Chain A
Amino acid sequence: GAGVSQSPSNKVTEKGKDVELRCDPISGHTALYWYRQRLGQGLEFLIYFQGNSAPDKSGLPSDRFSAERTGESVSTLTIQRTQQEDSAVYLCASSLARRLEAFFGQGTRLTVV
Protein backbone atom coordinates (compact mmCIF):
# COMPACT_ATOMS: atom_id res chain seq x y z
CA GLY A 1 0.00 0.00 0.00
CA ALA A 2 0.91 3.64 -0.18
CA GLY A 3 1.45 4.05 3.53
CA VAL A 4 1.46 2.23 6.83
CA SER A 5 -2.01 0.98 7.61
CA GLN A 6 -3.27 0.21 11.11
CA SER A 7 -6.50 -1.34 12.26
CA PRO A 8 -8.74 -0.81 14.03
CA SER A 9 -8.46 2.96 14.25
CA ASN A 10 -10.33 2.93 17.54
CA LYS A 11 -10.88 0.17 20.06
CA VAL A 12 -12.81 0.29 23.31
CA THR A 13 -12.45 -2.74 25.50
CA GLU A 14 -13.34 -3.82 28.99
CA LYS A 15 -10.66 -4.20 31.59
CA GLY A 16 -9.35 -7.75 31.62
CA LYS A 17 -10.10 -8.51 27.98
CA ASP A 18 -7.45 -9.24 25.36
CA VAL A 19 -6.99 -7.01 22.33
CA GLU A 20 -5.14 -7.43 19.05
CA LEU A 21 -3.88 -4.52 17.00
CA ARG A 22 -2.78 -4.86 13.41
CA CYS A 23 -0.14 -3.09 11.34
CA ASP A 24 0.38 -3.39 7.61
CA PRO A 25 3.75 -1.80 6.74
CA ILE A 26 4.82 -0.19 3.51
CA SER A 27 5.69 -2.88 1.00
CA GLY A 28 9.41 -3.62 0.96
CA HIS A 29 10.11 -2.12 4.36
CA THR A 30 12.16 -4.57 6.36
CA ALA A 31 12.11 -2.73 9.67
CA LEU A 32 8.94 -2.38 11.71
CA TYR A 33 8.46 -0.66 15.06
CA TRP A 34 5.63 -0.36 17.56
CA TYR A 35 5.33 2.70 19.79
CA ARG A 36 2.87 3.79 22.43
CA GLN A 37 1.72 7.37 22.96
CA ARG A 38 -0.08 8.15 26.16
CA LEU A 39 -2.20 11.28 26.34
CA GLY A 40 -0.03 14.39 26.20
CA GLN A 41 3.19 12.38 26.16
CA GLY A 42 5.91 11.57 23.71
CA LEU A 43 6.18 8.20 22.08
CA GLU A 44 7.58 5.16 23.89
CA PHE A 45 9.33 2.42 21.94
CA LEU A 46 7.79 -1.01 22.43
CA ILE A 47 9.26 -3.53 19.97
CA TYR A 48 11.33 -3.74 16.78
CA PHE A 49 11.28 -6.30 13.98
CA GLN A 50 13.92 -6.65 11.29
CA GLY A 51 13.24 -9.19 8.56
CA ASN A 52 13.29 -12.70 9.94
CA SER A 53 15.55 -11.87 12.88
CA ALA A 54 14.39 -12.28 16.46
CA PRO A 55 12.52 -9.14 17.54
CA ASP A 56 13.90 -6.66 20.03
CA LYS A 57 11.31 -6.67 22.80
CA SER A 58 13.21 -4.43 25.19
CA GLY A 59 10.51 -1.76 25.29
CA LEU A 60 7.54 -3.97 26.14
CA PRO A 61 6.20 -2.77 29.52
CA SER A 62 5.03 -6.13 30.81
CA ASP A 63 4.58 -9.76 29.83
CA ARG A 64 0.96 -8.98 28.98
CA PHE A 65 2.29 -7.41 25.79
CA SER A 66 3.45 -9.49 22.83
CA ALA A 67 3.87 -8.97 19.11
CA GLU A 68 4.40 -11.06 16.03
CA ARG A 69 5.47 -10.43 12.51
CA THR A 70 5.79 -12.95 9.72
CA GLY A 71 8.71 -12.10 7.48
CA GLU A 72 8.34 -8.57 6.17
CA SER A 73 4.57 -8.48 6.26
CA VAL A 74 1.81 -7.71 8.72
CA SER A 75 2.47 -7.38 12.41
CA THR A 76 0.08 -7.81 15.30
CA LEU A 77 0.46 -6.40 18.80
CA THR A 78 -1.48 -8.29 21.44
CA ILE A 79 -2.29 -7.01 24.90
CA GLN A 80 -3.64 -9.59 27.30
CA ARG A 81 -5.78 -8.85 30.35
CA THR A 82 -5.93 -5.16 29.51
CA GLN A 83 -5.62 -2.59 32.28
CA GLN A 84 -6.73 1.03 32.32
CA GLU A 85 -3.13 2.21 32.11
CA ASP A 86 -2.90 0.50 28.72
CA SER A 87 -5.18 3.21 27.30
CA ALA A 88 -3.11 5.02 24.70
CA VAL A 89 -2.56 5.42 20.99
CA TYR A 90 -0.50 2.57 19.58
CA LEU A 91 1.54 3.59 16.57
CA CYS A 92 3.28 1.39 14.07
CA ALA A 93 6.13 2.56 11.85
CA SER A 94 8.15 0.98 9.08
CA SER A 95 11.34 1.88 7.28
CA LEU A 96 13.36 0.54 4.38
CA ALA A 97 16.13 -0.26 6.79
CA ARG A 98 17.07 0.70 10.27
CA ARG A 99 18.72 4.12 10.58
CA LEU A 100 16.49 5.49 7.88
CA GLU A 101 13.40 7.58 8.37
CA ALA A 102 10.41 5.70 9.69
CA PHE A 103 6.93 6.26 8.32
CA PHE A 104 4.07 6.05 10.75
CA GLY A 105 0.54 4.79 10.52
CA GLN A 106 -2.38 6.74 11.95
CA GLY A 107 -2.42 4.64 15.06
CA THR A 108 -4.97 2.68 17.02
CA ARG A 109 -6.58 4.54 19.89
CA LEU A 110 -7.17 2.01 22.65
CA THR A 111 -9.50 2.83 25.51
CA VAL A 112 -9.80 0.41 28.39
CA VAL A 113 -12.95 0.94 30.48
Chain B
Amino acid sequence: AQKVTQAQTEISVVEKEDVTLDCVYETRDTTYYLFWYKQPPSGELVFLIRRNSFDEQNEISGRYSWNFQKSTSSFNFTITASQVVDSAVYFCALSEGGSGYALNFGKGTSLLVTP
Protein backbone atom coordinates (compact mmCIF):
# COMPACT_ATOMS: atom_id res chain seq x y z
CA ALA B 1 0.00 0.00 0.00
CA GLN B 2 1.21 3.45 -0.84
CA LYS B 3 2.18 5.22 2.36
CA VAL B 4 2.82 8.59 0.78
CA THR B 5 0.44 9.99 -1.78
CA GLN B 6 1.24 12.91 -4.00
CA ALA B 7 -1.93 13.26 -5.97
CA GLN B 8 -0.60 15.89 -8.34
CA THR B 9 1.47 14.23 -11.01
CA GLU B 10 2.29 17.38 -12.94
CA ILE B 11 1.77 21.07 -12.28
CA SER B 12 2.48 23.90 -14.65
CA VAL B 13 2.56 27.52 -13.49
CA VAL B 14 3.73 30.83 -14.82
CA GLU B 15 6.63 32.51 -13.10
CA LYS B 16 5.70 34.52 -9.98
CA GLU B 17 2.63 32.43 -9.28
CA ASP B 18 2.34 30.68 -5.94
CA VAL B 19 2.05 26.90 -6.07
CA THR B 20 1.23 24.28 -3.43
CA LEU B 21 2.34 20.67 -3.69
CA ASP B 22 0.20 18.25 -1.72
CA CYS B 23 1.41 15.32 0.31
CA VAL B 24 -0.72 12.91 2.31
CA TYR B 25 0.85 10.14 4.36
CA GLU B 26 -0.27 7.07 6.24
CA THR B 27 1.34 5.63 9.35
CA ARG B 28 0.44 3.95 12.62
CA ASP B 29 3.63 5.05 14.33
CA THR B 30 3.57 7.91 16.81
CA THR B 31 7.16 8.82 16.04
CA TYR B 32 7.91 9.46 12.40
CA TYR B 33 9.60 11.98 10.16
CA LEU B 34 8.51 13.74 7.01
CA PHE B 35 10.75 15.06 4.29
CA TRP B 36 10.66 16.96 1.05
CA TYR B 37 13.32 16.49 -1.62
CA LYS B 38 13.80 18.28 -4.91
CA GLN B 39 15.07 16.47 -8.00
CA PRO B 40 16.10 18.93 -10.71
CA PRO B 41 16.76 17.78 -14.29
CA SER B 42 20.35 16.98 -13.31
CA GLY B 43 18.93 14.07 -11.30
CA GLU B 44 20.50 14.57 -7.89
CA LEU B 45 18.05 14.63 -4.98
CA VAL B 46 18.35 17.78 -2.91
CA PHE B 47 17.17 17.76 0.69
CA LEU B 48 14.71 20.56 1.49
CA ILE B 49 13.19 19.89 4.90
CA ARG B 50 12.75 17.34 7.67
CA ARG B 51 9.99 17.50 10.29
CA ASN B 52 9.32 15.15 13.18
CA SER B 53 5.85 14.04 14.17
CA PHE B 54 5.87 16.02 17.40
CA ASP B 55 6.48 19.37 15.80
CA GLU B 56 3.50 20.72 13.91
CA GLN B 57 4.80 24.24 13.62
CA ASN B 58 4.73 25.53 10.11
CA GLU B 59 8.06 26.46 8.66
CA ILE B 60 9.15 29.13 6.24
CA SER B 61 12.47 29.29 4.45
CA GLY B 62 12.68 32.10 1.97
CA ARG B 63 10.08 31.45 -0.73
CA TYR B 64 9.39 27.96 0.61
CA SER B 65 6.91 27.11 3.33
CA TRP B 66 5.55 23.89 4.73
CA ASN B 67 2.23 23.15 6.40
CA PHE B 68 2.17 20.04 8.59
CA GLN B 69 -1.25 18.94 9.85
CA LYS B 70 -1.44 15.67 11.76
CA SER B 71 -5.24 15.85 11.85
CA THR B 72 -5.36 15.38 8.09
CA SER B 73 -2.02 13.50 7.76
CA SER B 74 -0.77 16.10 5.36
CA PHE B 75 2.53 17.83 4.83
CA ASN B 76 2.05 20.34 2.04
CA PHE B 77 4.73 22.44 0.42
CA THR B 78 4.18 25.93 -0.97
CA ILE B 79 6.48 27.88 -3.22
CA THR B 80 5.74 31.58 -3.24
CA ALA B 81 6.52 33.68 -6.32
CA SER B 82 7.77 30.69 -8.27
CA GLN B 83 10.81 30.95 -10.51
CA VAL B 84 11.95 29.00 -13.54
CA VAL B 85 14.73 27.45 -11.42
CA ASP B 86 12.04 25.83 -9.26
CA SER B 87 11.20 23.51 -12.14
CA ALA B 88 11.90 20.01 -10.86
CA VAL B 89 10.29 16.89 -9.52
CA TYR B 90 9.45 17.21 -5.84
CA PHE B 91 9.21 14.17 -3.61
CA CYS B 92 7.56 13.89 -0.25
CA ALA B 93 8.82 11.06 1.95
CA LEU B 94 7.90 9.38 5.22
CA SER B 95 10.42 7.83 7.60
CA GLU B 96 9.18 5.33 10.18
CA GLY B 97 11.00 2.99 12.54
CA GLY B 98 11.62 0.10 10.18
CA SER B 99 14.72 -0.37 8.00
CA GLY B 100 16.72 2.25 9.81
CA TYR B 101 14.13 4.90 9.16
CA ALA B 102 14.55 4.44 5.43
CA LEU B 103 12.58 6.89 3.35
CA ASN B 104 9.26 5.82 1.88
CA PHE B 105 8.76 8.11 -1.10
CA GLY B 106 5.70 9.34 -2.88
CA LYS B 107 5.69 9.16 -6.68
CA GLY B 108 6.62 12.80 -6.97
CA THR B 109 5.09 15.93 -8.45
CA SER B 110 6.67 17.37 -11.56
CA LEU B 111 6.60 21.17 -11.40
CA LEU B 112 7.15 23.23 -14.52
CA VAL B 113 7.54 26.98 -14.12
CA THR B 114 7.42 28.89 -17.38
CA PRO B 115 8.57 32.48 -17.94
Using a CB–CB distance below 8 Å, which chain A residues touch chain B? 31, 33, 35, 41-45, 48, 50, 56, 58-59, 89, 91, 93, 98-107
Which residues of chain B from 97 to 115 have a CB within 8 Å of any chain A CB? 98-108
Inter-chain contact A45/B103, CB cutoff 8 Å? yes
Inter-chain contact A103/B106, CB cutoff 8 Å? no
Which residues of chain B from 73 to 106 have a CB within 8 Å of any chain A CB? 91, 95, 98-106
Inter-chain contact A43/B100, CB cutoff 8 Å? no
Which residues of chain B from 1 to 60 have a CB within 8 Å of any chain A CB? 4, 33, 35, 37, 42-45, 47, 50
8 Å CB contact of B101 from A41, A59, A91, A98: A98
8 Å CB contact of B100 from A48, A101, A107: A48
Inter-chain contact A102/B91, CB cutoff 8 Å? no
Instruction: Compute how far the CA of A91 lies from the CA of B45 in the bound complex, rounded to whole angstroms.
Output: 9
Contact status of A41 and B42, CB under 8 A, knowing A33-B100, A58-B99, A101-B47: no
Please give, as numbers and ranges, the residues of chain A lying within 8 Å of B4 by CB-CB distance: 42
Residue of B nearest to A44 (CB): B105
Inter-chain contact B99/A43, CB cutoff 8 Å? no
**Distance between A40 CB and nearest chain B CB, rounded to angstroms:** 8
Contact status of A45 and B99, CB under 8 A, knowing A101-B47, A106-B43: yes
**Distance between A96 CB and nearest chain B CB, rounded to angstroms:** 12
Instruction: Compute how far the CA of A58 lies from the CA of B98 in the bound complex, rounded to whole angstroms.
Output: 10
Inter-chain contact B102/A33, CB cutoff 8 Å? yes
Instruction: Compute how far the CA of A101 lies from the CA of B48 in the bound complex, rounded to whole angstroms.
Output: 9
Instruction: Compute how far the CA of A56 lies from the CA of B96 in the bound complex, rounded to whole angstroms.
Output: 14
Q: Provide a sorted-by-A list of 8 A–B residue pairs whose CB atoms are within 8 angstroms.
A: A41-B107, A45-B99, A45-B102, A56-B99, A59-B102, A89-B43, A103-B47, A106-B42
Inter-chain contact B99/A59, CB cutoff 8 Å? yes
Inter-chain contact A42/B43, CB cutoff 8 Å? no
Please give, as numbers and ranges, the residues of chain B lying within 8 Å of A103 by CB-CB distance: 47
Please give, as numbers and ranges, the residues of chain B lying within 8 Å of A56 by CB-CB distance: 98-100, 102
Contact status of A107 and B95, CB under 8 A, knowing A56-B100, A59-B102: no
Please give, as numbers and ranges, the residues of chain A lying within 8 Å of B37 by CB-CB distance: 104
Please give, as numbers and ranges, the residues of chain B lying within 8 Å of A101 by CB-CB distance: 35, 47, 50
